[in-house]
Structure 1
Amino acid sequence: MSESNQHRPNMLPYGQQWLDEGDIDSVIQVLKSDFLTQGPAIQAFEEKVANYVGAKYAVAFTNGTAALHGACFAAGIGLGDEVITTPLTFLASSNCVLYQGGTPVFCDIDMETYNIDANQIETKITPSTKAIIVVDFSGQPVEIDRILDIAREKNLILIEDAAHSLGADYDGRKIGTWADMTMFSFHPVKHVTTGEGGIIVTDNETFYKKLIQFRSHGMTRNPDEMTQNDGPWYYEMHALGYNYRMTDIQAALGVSQMDKLDDFVQRRREIVEIYNRELAEIPGLVLPYQHPKANSSWHLYVVRFLPEYFSYSRREIFETLRNRNIGVHVHYIPVYLQPYYQKLGYRKGLCPNAERYYETAITLPLFPKMTDTDVKDVVDAVKIFRKEI
């Protein structure tokens, strides 16, 4: 391996937030106000996200996992219900089903998009199937039109985990209006951040009301929903909910960040264009595929090092890049390979494509604050493996 490539002076992370003075000022304004939580900034943020994607309703949560939990509650998922989902995702996409007593049913991925394989979904449907949770892996939307047709035909609820795809569109239509409920995440590595945070957007008023109730202990203060009314102070608990409320501090940051979303997405796409151009010449390096109907917002840029082309293992490549201060990562370990899921009876071999993908994948740094020099550092570091073919 060539040693001509100089190490960076510091670690370049795979993802990172970008905050400016406007973001900081928006948070300071809330800190000086009367409301740190349950105040007007929450509604402002919800309206901002709903208007951006074109949804009727939005409900903010403490994080994306809590939002998915809320979606499963609103969908009525419970003991004995099966939910079809992908194994190539973060734990939350299936854990949310377990929280409600349901059973995740893993469907293998398409080896081009790395999203759930729409061709296999129907083979997983049983009389116990209640919903489908799809994940827009890396920011590329799933074949949502095809999957929506399946859900409608089988009378299933469709939940879209769009933690990676805020700002993306499919067939010219923004992600956020296709599924019955769509979740966006606002962790610092996502497209915009609230520190921690998540949101569900929906056009369904029934789901909306259930989500509002669920995030606040299952309570209601709406007189029209109460069984009795003892006075202005009165509230009732109608379901077992949780305290999943976002703070106004987070929401104010989110409102400010949303104003920069399109610029952030555009910069991500510019970086991807450079990666695609500069890395295309390396045999055995599989670059991300773009579905013709999908316009990815590029949360992640994942490449695969096919072992037959390289003298080094994926782990050795990973560690070499890390040693050169290129903060690569791996997304994701197939969920059912986790020890907890193994205890539930899931076994290796369940989704061969996801396992084959996992053995070869490495995520390269990608975030809007990257400079052109940062991008060149990544390209140069990856290119050193070309000589080992």
Structure 2
Amino acid sequence: MKPLLLFLSFIGVLNACKPIELSTSETPVLEQDVPHKTYQPTGNVCLTSDGGFATVLLRQAFNQAVSLYNGISYITRNEVVVVKTDQLGQVQWSKLVGTGGSTPLIHPLSDGGYLVFQLIPPFLTQNTYQLLVSHLNSTGEVLTKQAVDGVNLGLYFTIQKILSLADKGFIISAHLGNESYFLMRFDEQGKLLWSRSYTQATNTLPGAYRLAATSDGGLMISWSGYNSAQPGGYESFLLKTDANGQQIWLRKYGLFTDNLTVSESTDKGYVLVGRNTSSTATAVLYKLDKDGNIQWSKLYPLRSTYAGTPIRIFASTDGYEFVFYAYPNSTEIVTTDLAGVEQIHQTRSEPVISSESGDILRLSDDSFVYMGLDAYGTIALTKTKPDKTLQWSSPIATNK
């Protein structure tokens, strides 16, 4: 097998965002102009300064479902919508932030405001993607719009997730293509500090990358993929970085596992959870030491008989909790002790989150808040108690 190499391209410390003028596509329009709304749970959910929650959704709006052959104009557009709720998930306000973009993400500010990111496609810019950031006040009014400047996003750029950090800053993860993972590090106020791409030079075709923060200010990146030269076909990787995204070490595992997601454990080691490729309705949990060496592994059959996909894993002083999307319409939450012995296994039929849509937030009392879509097209926030039993579920956006 070829030796494992990883090339990191540091794009540099960038000091500012560039102000832009609002284009015609960004001009606010009346709701009755395009009354039909179809929401997609593509954004994230965050805890706000007043103890409530905020999420950002992508919405497709259209005037009426008619054919152009009838001589009637068919208007359709993408809209980015922020929804703010109280502590019980009851909607306080919903605001249209921008149009023409995709893959929105939201970050709360300590003054009660928000930063909302949306990806503007090449045909609306100058032959390259543009990352647009809107600064909102505490009531959702747009104060400024700026383009993140100094980074060439190219023609194959896709946003993945936003990761909040202990210093109140955040990281946006993205893909520059099939093989290149891309991180942008921002401070608390949305100032871009650095950006870096990670491209592996192996025989492995990479799957989804996952990102986690560590207590020393660094990051963990996990991924897996198929390699025809590897017995069993699958290889998995774990990369440790410093606070500037520079590689510290890289580990390769010949595991029969894909879709790995990672978290730092309280002993400064790590836990990985993935899908068993030999039995896709089975979860696999790995405990690693601080250098990435495997200490033990355990299997957990899912209640769904179909393939499961890990969403997130969380570590605490008592054990580990991981969340799986189980095809076609359930979310499974498994809680273990520090030795990996299963303690609780919860199943939620609605709303459902998956690796492609929805989000999950863990609060300081170990309860979960997650956003997902139910069978009727309604997007809801759902909160569990610390023991993962249901506390409340509240609809926040209804398709019509």
**What is the TM-score normalised by the length of structure 1?**
0.27
Relative to its length, the structure with more strand (as a share) is 2
Relative to its length, the structure with more helix (as a share) is 1
Bigger relative contact order (CA 8 A; separation at least 6): 1
**What is the TM-score normalised by the length of structure 2?**
0.27
